[in-house]
Amino acid sequence: MTELLDLEQLDRDLYRGVNDVKVNGEPALYGGQVAAQALKAAGLTVATDRAPHSLHGYFLRPGLPAQPVIFAVERDRDGRSFSARRVRAMQNGAVIFEMTASFHIDEAGGTYEMPIRDGLIDPESCVPEPHSANFPRADARVVPPTQVDDAGNHYSSTVWLRAVDPLGDDRLTHCCALTYLSDIGSGFMTLDRTDLPRGGPSLDHSMWFHGAIRADAWTLLHMWPLMAGGARGLYAGSMHQQDGQLGAMVTQEILLRRRP
């Protein structure tokens, strides 16, 4: 993961990233990778006392694994406690992903966190996520209750996740790694509807970062559907560490087209 997030600086506010290649030969880049690298590019232009607190991204074109991705950062604002950035991820002169991100200094204040889901099975007792081979930087385990397809694969909208390798202590790196992990799975996996697929290509993705949890420790991504219509589906998610600490909230809209 640290290698994936080690962007090459080409010029001021201009970076280049390496790509993971899916083992099943799918022609598009993994969206979580592009979003994570875009957040890293934005973070490299911000003072080190400011950590990501939110991002909002749009997937505009499929990314090509055989070509590097160029990230261009625009410095919208640096205030006393917040910094705002815009990032364009490009290939062949075309924008494939666009993100706005905000960074905030740590401030004291009242706290409230939604609790972690009850009755969880520990990660080591869960089966691997069926498509986990496509995410070589992550360990992914599905949490019951699950749905089983005709091939015997178990699917769930709740997944234990962690980065495979240690990430050190840099907070920006952990936020970027959580972004990578947050795009694994779908909030429609266990919705038993014959007229709706379990997942689809990402359209847009938003995250809000809360506690400074570690992405190289087991993190529970719990997702639930909000609505579906017009061939699109919207779901929300939470990311908790095993001790119950809330690390991030997620919303994502995906394309839900029934394939023949």
186 among known catalytic residues: no
125 among known catalytic residues: no
User: Which of these is catalytic: 202, 206, 238, 241?
Assistant: 202
Are residues 102 and 54 in contact, defined by beta-carbon separation less than 8 angstroms? yes
Quickly tell me which residue has 């993100």 as its tokens. Answer: 99
**Tokens in use for 241?**
């560490």
Please enumerate in sequence order all residues whose Cβ is within 8 A of that of 93, keeping only pairs 6 or more positions apart, or say none.
none
User: Which of these is catalytic: 33, 37, 156, 183?
Assistant: 183
**Tokens in use for 44?**
């490299």
242 among known catalytic residues: no
Q: Which residues are catalytic?
A: 183, 202, 252
